[in-house]
Amino acid sequence: MQTKVSMQAEIAGISFDNLLLNAAGIRCSTVQDLNSILTSEAGGVVTKSATVEERAGNESPRMRALPLGSINSMGLPNHGFDYYMAYVLKAQSAGYNNVILSVAGLSPADDLLMLREIQQSGFDGLVELNLSCPNVKGKPQVGYDFAAVEQLLGEIFKFFDKRLGLKLPPYFDLTQFDEMAAIINQYPVTYVNSINSIGNGLVIDPVTETAVIKPKGGFGGLGGEYAKPTALANVRGFRQRLKPEIQMIGTGGIKSGMDVFEHVLCGADLVQIGTAFGSEGTPIFDRISQELQDIMIEKGYRRLADFRGKLKTL
Ligand code: SIN
């Protein structure tokens, strides 16, 4: 008889039967996409990051699957804030509290506008503020401007008292981890989600001597296996520096149960799957759950808490 293991996870009192979710951006733009994740083995669903107004995003081709992952410059195509707000409210009234509303303003003013609407709404679930989209032309990733993040968080927490997570870009120097964690630790942030794609990579087809995607002269965010070591370092680096009550979501390079296991070892409470979910669709949640359970059984772990954050170093 197989030993039973639990995939149960929790963020700020919201319980998830499974720690696996989609990453904002992949197959989560429409009500149909969102419902198919919600009714799959995934523990919950994250909406496509909403901008105030509907956006068509960048020109095609804007995403390319690669041997070790993907490059994309989607440019936040989405149906606009009202669409996703209506979705999460409907899901909430149907009893789903495992729906995360992701928002990505094109300016701090847009972020504040959407967060004010959320504050005034009946939505009581998790909100994820995306400070890290690398693909909007002419708009730098806010997460790399520490002073801007500090100012924005100061403004937000003057009025926002719901549960807010931050989706961050990858950082590469330990002083960046120190500085960003010191800023975030001043505020009642619920969780940090690391990482968004590794921004502004360039992939070339050497036969045609051409960049493989069209927007921004071929520059785009890298996901998949290319991103995993950077993602693990960011989850670990923030877990070591953030106040214990600020939880972590790990995103980046997950395509197997072992990848999830490693993210949890680094301190992830939940994980989100982007590139591999894009190519495999909702069956990935069942496959990876099975793989993770097999690993846990083999290692004698029954709950995620048995190994969460317990990475050893040499
Ligand atoms: C995009 O729409 O460009 C990708 C989403 C993101 O990186 O936040």
- The pTM score is 0.98
- CATH code, 111: 3.20.20.70
* Ligand 1 neighbours by CB, cut-off 6 Å: 25, 49, 74-76, 130, 133, 135, 196-197, 221
Alpha helices in the chain (DSSP H): 31-38, 81-93, 108-120, 146-156, 174-184, 228-241, 257-266, 275-280, 283-299
For residue 190, the SS3 value is coil
The pLDDT, as a whole number, for residue 212 is: 98
**Band of the pLDDT at 33, cuts 50, 70, 90?**
very high
- The Cα-based distances of 3 to 41, 107, 127, 264 in angstroms read 20, 50, 35, 20
Torsion of the alpha carbons at 137, 138, 143 and 147, rounded to the nearest 10: -170
Mean predicted confidence (pLDDT) in 21-25? 96
CA distance 16 to 7: 8
DSSP letters along 12-30, please? TTEEESSSEEEPTTSS-SS
Mean predicted confidence (pLDDT) in 54-70? 98
- What is the atom index within ligand 1 of the atom nearest the CA of 196? 7
Pocket test for ligand 1, best of 197, 216, 251 (most atoms within 8 A of CB): 197
Active site residues: 133
DSSP letters along 236-276, please? HHHHHHS-TTSEEEEESS--SHHHHHHHHHHT-SEEEE-HH
Dihedral sign, Cα of residue 304, residue 128, residue 176, residue 76: positive
How far, in Å, is the centroid of ligand 1 from the Cα of 271? Answer: 17
- 286, pLDDT greater than 70: yes
Pocket test for ligand 1, best of 196, 219, 222, 277 (most atoms within 8 A of CB): 196
How far, in Å, is the centroid of ligand 1 from the Cα of 173? Answer: 23
Specify the DSSP class assigned to residue 51. Answer: P
CA distance 89 to 126: 12
CB atoms within 10 A of CB 90: 12
The boundaries of the domain holding residue 159 are 9-57+75-198+225-306
The answer to the question of residue 313 being in a domain is no
How far, in Å, is the centroid of ligand 1 from the Cα of 135? Answer: 6
The pLDDT, as a whole number, for residue 3 is: 61
**Three-point CA angle 61, 72, 201, nearest 5°:** 115
> What pLDDT, in 10s, does the model give residues 79-122?
999 999 999 999 999 999 999 999 999 999 999 999 999 999 99
CA distance 110 to 150: 16
Task: Give the burial string for 215-235 (b: 16+ CB within 10 Å, else e).
Answer: bbebbbbbbbbbbbebbbbbb
The answer to the question of residue 153 being in a domain is yes
- 2, pLDDT greater than 60: no
Residue type, 169: P
> What pLDDT, in 10s, does the model give residues 128-159?
999 999 999 999 999 999 999 999 999 999 99
The answer to the question of residue 312 being in a domain is no
For residue 202, the SS3 value is strand
The pLDDT, as a whole number, for residue 103 is: 98
Residue 248 contacts residue 195 (beta carbons within 8 Å): no
- What is the atom index within ligand 1 of the atom nearest the CA of 104? 8
CA distance 158 to 244: 23
Residue 309 contacts residue 239 (beta carbons within 8 Å): yes
Total domain count, the chain: 1
- 1, pLDDT greater than 90: no
The answer to the question of residue 124 being in a domain is yes
- What is the atom index within ligand 1 of the atom nearest the CA of 58? 3
**Band of the pLDDT at 309, cuts 50, 70, 90?**
very high
- Which residues have a Cβ under 8 Å from the Cβ of 283 and sit 6 or more positions away? 40
Mean predicted confidence (pLDDT) in 45-55? 98
Q: In 3D, which of 305, 308, 296 has the Cα closest to residue 2?
A: 296
How far, in Å, is the centroid of ligand 1 from the Cα of 67? Answer: 20
The answer to the question of residue 218 being in a domain is no
**Band of the pLDDT at 4, cuts 50, 70, 90?**
confident
The answer to the question of residue 220 being in a domain is no
The pLDDT, as a whole number, for residue 104 is: 98
- 211, pLDDT greater than 90: yes
Percentage of the chain modeled with pLDDT above 70: 99
Q: Whose CA is nearest to atom 8 of ligand 1?
A: 133
Task: Indicate the average pLDDT of the chain.
Answer: 97
- 292, pLDDT greater than 70: yes
Instruction: Give the burial class of 242: count Cβ atoms within 10 A of its Cβ; 0-12 exposed, 13-18 middle, 19 or more buried.
Output: buried
Mean predicted confidence (pLDDT) in 14-39? 97
